[in-house]
Amino acid sequence: MGFASRAFRLRHPAQVVVLAFATGVVAGSALLALPVARAEAGHASFLEAVFTSTSAVCVTGLTVVDTATYWSGFGQAVILLLIQVGGFGIMTLASLLGLLVAHRLGLRTRLTARAETKTLGLGDVRRVLFGVAAFSLAFEAIAAFILTSWLALKYDEPLGQAVYHGIFHAVSAFNNAGFSLYSDNLVRFAADPVISITVAVAVIVGGLGFPVLFELRRELLTPRTWTLHTKIVVWMTLILLVGGAVAVTAFEWGNPKTLGPLSIPGKLLTGFFHAVQPRTAGFNSLDYGEMNETTWLVTDVLMFIGGGPAGTAGGIKVTAVAVLGFMILAEVRGDPTVHVHNRRIPAVAQRQALSIALLGMFVVVASTLTLLAMSDENLDRVLFEVISAFGTVGLSTGITADLPAQAQSVLILLMFLGRVGTVTLASALALRSRPILYRLPEERPIIG
């Protein structure tokens, strides 16, 4: 029985991910429901506690109450802990699942790297975990030091408060959570390059994924030796950041309620900042509720795509979108197989990318229809909210707290699915693949 249980767990690691995150949500909800977690007398409602706990564990950032004023120091510390555990847990589990999928029969006390991509070298599980933890804490410490120093020197915050705010926002940024201890999020720092760039860099690095970060640490100056995975993630990240920054800046340039009053350097900085945040970070230095609908649509696309696999970002991931793009290009060219940088994309990866993208679209459409039926909000705002929850982004046009309880419950489910869904689905699809010893007769339906 014990051997069977162990074999079952090894063959279905996705269940461990789901159980771990569900346990974290329940534990966080219980702590946030305590009277000591609330700044004022009384305790948070069941929905407020569950919504906030889910948002923190799934590193989303959507809120139904003001984090800065509603929660006490204890409550904010619980949220910070949940963000760190959720971000570290998903990065570790996603990385380990990736190794497991590549070499599942070799998972004992050591995990071997993928022979083709060499994303991570051969190493003991403990060493992999230590590397993830060490990098996370080191980068968060550097970001926290910069933010703390600037808040104390530039904005005259008391040292203790500056340290607290610096650590909280560094952890929130690196883990792509988007929680802020300022009631206006980061609007007051819209034109501040130190705060904006520090937060943006932390978001970008956290969203690349640890397989990419480990490889860049070894071979940053030799891009020719990068694996295909790293090349795809880095180039897709650059394309989305540049394209997003140009689009947001152009569409909001003359908007008197967003970029309009800022100087040209301020507009460029803020436009770039808001191209970074839809990578599933969720911070905002502008009021999204006052943005143009064209900007909302651009943000919808960026949020749905998300960041890199095995990192803190959500969405369907840049690799899935890239593979779909390569598939279309190969079909247009009439190529029988998909080739990228002198490498062939296997059919199983193509099917996984297509499955994840289509299922993600189905979840978004179904959830949007559900929320439209439950609330009086218009399509643009509801779609934005749904994609933000599913992509674990945390951006909002300002309707989260005004939605009815049943609609907020849908968002809770979306945040959970968005965080664990793509990872577990990808691993489940890979682990379920099996050789077929026969071929059925071929019949081709009419396409188009």
Q: Does pLDDT of 350 surpass 60?
A: yes
How far is the C-alpha of 188 from the C-alpha of 190, rounded, in Å?
Answer: 6
Cβ proximity of 353 and 389 under 8 Å: no
Tens digits of residue pLDDT in 357-381: 999 999 999 999 999 999 999 999 9
Q: Which two tokens stand for residue 258?
A: 């967003």
Mean pLDDT, the chain, rounded, equals 85
Question: Residue 121 has what pLDDT?
Answer: 47
Q: Per-residue pLDDT averaged across 66-73, rounded?
A: 95
Closest CA to 176 of 25, 313, 304, 55: 313
- Residue 88: which pLDDT band, with cuts at 50, 70 and 90? confident
Question: Residue 236 has what pLDDT?
Answer: 95
Burial class (CB in 10 A: 0-12, 13-18, 19+), 149: middle
- Residue 426: which pLDDT band, with cuts at 50, 70 and 90? low
Q: Which two tokens stand for residue 78?
A: 């619980």
- Residue 428: which pLDDT band, with cuts at 50, 70 and 90? low
Coil, strand or helix: which one is 39? Answer: coil
Q: What is the DSSP letter of 119?
A: -
When comparing pLDDT for 145 and 95, which is higher? 145
How far is the C-alpha of 18 from the C-alpha of 11, rounded, in Å?
Answer: 14
- Residue 268: which pLDDT band, with cuts at 50, 70 and 90? very high
Estimate to the nearest angstrom the gap between the alpha carbon of 418 and the chain centroid.
9
Domain ranges of the chain: 10-432
Cβ proximity of 261 and 190 under 8 Å: no
* Sequence-ordered list of residues with C-beta below 8 angstroms from that of 223, at least 6 positions apart, any chain: 231
How far is the C-alpha of 278 from the C-alpha of 393, rounded, in Å?
Answer: 6
Q: Which residues pair with 344 in a beta bridge?
A: 339
Q: Which two tokens stand for residue 204?
A: 């970008």
Q: Per-residue pLDDT averaged across 276-299, rounded?
A: 94
For 267-389, where are the E strands, in sequence order? 339-340, 343-344
- Residue 115: which pLDDT band, with cuts at 50, 70 and 90? very low
How far is the C-alpha of 423 from the C-alpha of 417, rounded, in Å?
Answer: 10
Estimate to the nearest angstrom the gap between the alpha carbon of 283 and the chain centroid.
12
Q: Does pLDDT of 433 surpass 70?
A: no
CA separation, residue 39 to residues 67, 138, 143, 158 (Å): 10, 31, 28, 20
Q: Per-residue pLDDT averaged across 286-300, rounded?
A: 95
Question: Residue 234 has what pLDDT?
Answer: 94
